[in-house]
Structure 1
Amino acid sequence: MASTCGTATPARRAHRRGTGRARVQRRRRRRTGPSRCHDCGDAAGEGGDVSRAVPQRTLAGTDLAVGRIVLGTMTFGTQVGEAEATAMVRTCREAGITMFDTSNNYGAGAAEQMLGRIVRPFRDEVVLATKFGSPVDQSDPEATGLSRRAVRRAVDDSLRRLGVDHIDVYYMHRPDRDTPVEETLEALDEVVRQGKVRYLGQSNFAAWQITEMLHLARAHGWAEPLVSQPLYNLLGRRVEAEYAACSAHLGLTNITYNPLAGGLLTGKHRRDGRPQAGTRFTKEIYRDRYWNDDQFDAVERLGEVASAAGLTLVELAFRWVLGRPLTDCMLLGASGIDQLRKNLDAVTGPGLEPDVLAACDDVWRGLEGAAPHYNR
């Protein structure tokens, strides 16, 4: 794939130059890997080669160079105990993974606490990302949403649980339709200027919402949420319709999540069975997204595609996501150290052949009408 280092769009040139807010952030400049152009990291392009062990990618609008695989820690503190979680983090670091993702609502804060304790001895060598906005305590409505008060409270609570003095990437976890976006962005700019947060991101937002946020942030000189975390997998490709073009125009970094569709793309679930205990399909949100006949039909067809290509279904799913032009980094989770090692093995290998990509496209065309939306 040809490099585009010399052809940055005006929007990208603008946010690379930075603002007064960016100059404040540069006082705490810290790199976690070799710097690379945002546009020409490894494994980019259709069916891109992912044979290198966790190559690097620089997050848009930041000085953070991270591995293309990001460890998600949703299972920490619930399914995974601290000893095993420590082994998982160690394994990731040995593989070149430098970014660790959590949220204030994972295990009602337990994941943040555990991750913070584990990385404390090498805090300056990793990138910590967390999220806010989803319900943490159902009995406390003020602990949810994107209001000014919620922002201030959530960031301080996350800093305390993580045991750190700043968060590297702070995501809005989902839209809050009861709070004006200007209020949220101004409050987030405040915590960036205070040094509590280095860079901003958003997850589960529609393309038009992200466009509105960046327009307002640039108009007011506020910190810009340029790191994006959309749902993207072989069963959920709606982002390709409008989000992908919007992302390229705005200069976002995309850290895609749900590469295995909540586990449906492991092939171990059966449509005539009940969701297995300990899996994500015990949660209504995952059943609503994926637990239907259309999705199971697609999984069966994709299993045939994988088999014909000499791959497991998991290998097909991971390598497809990593090879897409939209994917800068991919969020990878695991229920334990053994599964993590298997997943890391599965992401390593050559990109998919054109006939395999075409077969995946055929499956998507039959599924598109029943696929989950990328936004909420």
Structure 2
Amino acid sequence: MTTYRRLGRSGLHLFPIGLGSMQFGWSADEETSQGIMDAYYEAGGNFIDTADIYTTWTQGNPGGVSEEIIGRWMKSRGNRQDIVIATKVRGPMGEFGRDGRKSIHQREGLSRRWIMQACEDSLRRLQVDHIDLYQAHWVDNQTPIEETLEAFTELVRRGYVRYIGCSNYSAWRLMQALWTSDKKGLESYVSIQPEYSLLSPTRANFERELMRVCEAYDIGIIPWSPLGGGMLTGKYRRGQPLPESVRADENARRRFSDRNFDIVETLEAVAGRHGAKPAQVALAWLLAQPQMTSPIIGANNTTQLGELLGTLELQLTPEDLDEITRVSDWERARTELEM
């Protein structure tokens, strides 16, 4: 039986694997997206993560499409009370408002003005009366942290939001926010959504400082890209050309290094011993890390989803975990470079 994990010090309990929705309306059409959510829900999944900007970088997508697809799915299935909905605010939503008129205001950031407007828009698109976890997508250097947290606090007090979290914050930014909340009696972040996987340098970036803050202050961790943009699935091979895929472009090459291919090959070896897949092993390693709540995965079809959810049936041994940790250990790699 799957054990749901508490998100930091909040009252939210999440399925150990979260469902990301960036692909909804992009690489997965609405029918496919709803099928993916059906399969996730039937497997016991309850945590769906989205963002208002998904996916504005796609031609013909003004943003909010993923939220709309999720909203229509929940309404048609009548399962809102079973789902933990997380969405985000910060990114640019274009120059036009909901009525199609050109806006004189900036439609992005973490100002009070935009947070209040963006939350109302997300509630409307999701067809819900509250958001379970509302997250700052990334830092806004133009807005004081006090203003951002005061706006989030008002949304909680109005009942529009249950808990707040952040994404892509550095350790000092997270500490600044926690200190400000404590000093001014404001709502406090209960979670962080960092880029975190076995790959270099994302493992090092998170573990150097952020992990310690999360452990010390009981901050839940719901990492994005836990499979390193597909690198940890084994679909990219050392010395081989890129496969044909919507997301397999030249950007994938930034993850190509001998060290990262060593990690992938170790995952394949461990997977072979268990009759598993490299992606399952990578996720199982993440789930064994301190403060880990629910890595967020993406799937373009139910077959991919089913394979990734199979992670929950995989039992890695202490020796497996140690082997994976050693090959991906950033401190050891740094020491070796310095010798």
TM-score, structure 1 as length reference: 0.76
Is 1:110 equivalent to 2:61 in the alignment? no
8 Å CA contact 2:21, 2:298 repeated in 1: yes
Extract unaligned runs of 5+ from structure 2.
Answer: 56-62, 97-102, 335-339
Q: 1:183 aligns with which of 125, 144, 147?
A: 147
Deviation at 1:272, TM superposition (A): 4.5
Deviation at 1:224, TM superposition (A): 0.9
Alignment correspondent of 1:134: 91
Secondary structure (helix, strand or coil) at the match of 1:168 reads: strand
Structure 1 residues 138 and 313, CA, compared in 2 at 3 Å: closer, same or farther? farther
Correspondences of 1:1-376 after superposition (within 5 Å): 52-53=1-2, 55-107=3-55, 108-120=63-75, 121-137=78-94, 142-235=106-199, 236-238=202-204, 239-270=206-237, 272-274=240-242, 276-279=244-247, 281-282=248-249, 284=251, 288=254, 290-308=255-273, 310-350=275-315, 352-365=316-329
Q: CA RMSD in A?
A: 2.4
Deviation at 1:169, TM superposition (A): 0.5
Q: What amino acid does structure 2 have at the position aligned with 1:213?
A: A
Secondary structure (helix, strand or coil) at the match of 1:339 reads: helix
Structure 1 residues 58 and 263, CA, compared in 2 at 3 Å: closer, same or farther? same
Taking the aligned partners of 2:48 and 2:69, their CA distance within structure 1 comes to 12
Taking the aligned partners of 2:20 and 2:26, their CA distance within structure 1 comes to 13
Deviation at 1:104, TM superposition (A): 0.7
1:128-179 CA distance string (max 9 Å, x none): 1101112333888822221222212211111121111211100111111222
Q: What amino acid does structure 2 have at the position aligned with 1:158?
A: S
8 Å CA contact 1:294, 1:367 repeated in 2: no
Taking the aligned partners of 1:91 and 1:230, their CA distance within structure 2 comes to 26
Extract unaligned runs of 5+ from structure 1.
Answer: 1-51, 371-376
8 Å CA contact 1:230, 1:255 repeated in 2: yes
What is the number of equivalent residue pairs in this alignment? 314
Deviation at 1:301, TM superposition (A): 4.0
Structure 1 residues 149 and 366, CA, compared in 2 at 3 Å: closer, same or farther? closer
TM-score, structure 2 as length reference: 0.84
Identity of aligned residues (%): 35
Q: What amino acid does structure 1 have at the position aligned with 2:183?
A: A
Q: What amino acid does structure 2 have at the position aligned with 1:129?
A: A
Secondary structure (helix, strand or coil) at the match of 1:130 reads: strand
8 Å CA contact 1:56, 1:68 repeated in 2: yes
Deviation at 1:349, TM superposition (A): 1.9
1:228-278 CA distance string (max 9 Å, x none): 212222113222222222111111111122221110011112454246331
